[in-house]
Copies of this chain bind each other. A is one copy, B any other.
């Protein structure tokens, strides 16, 4: 069993109104040291693949096809062995 971790972020050129809202809220709470906030997705996928390479290849496909929107988002993934939780 493998655990895939996927980090989906908006491309730098894409505006992030949710991140802007969080930044303003943090300023209101007094955290004036906050310069910028970007909000993305963090997805954990448990895979019953045979090998780590297979798990990485499959997960990369899933990202391109479903988990991320390649027009506005980019993604990064990690796969580690998972011996149950």
Contact = CB atoms under 8 A, between A and B. Distances in A.
How many copies of the shown chain assemble into the complex? 2
A39 to B, nearest CB: 5
B40 A43 contact: yes
Contacts of A35: 1, 46-48
B42 A9 contact: yes
A38 B43 contact: yes
A48 to B, nearest CB: 5
A47 to B, nearest CB: 5
Contacts of A29: 62, 65-66
B62 A31 contact: yes
B58 A22 contact: no
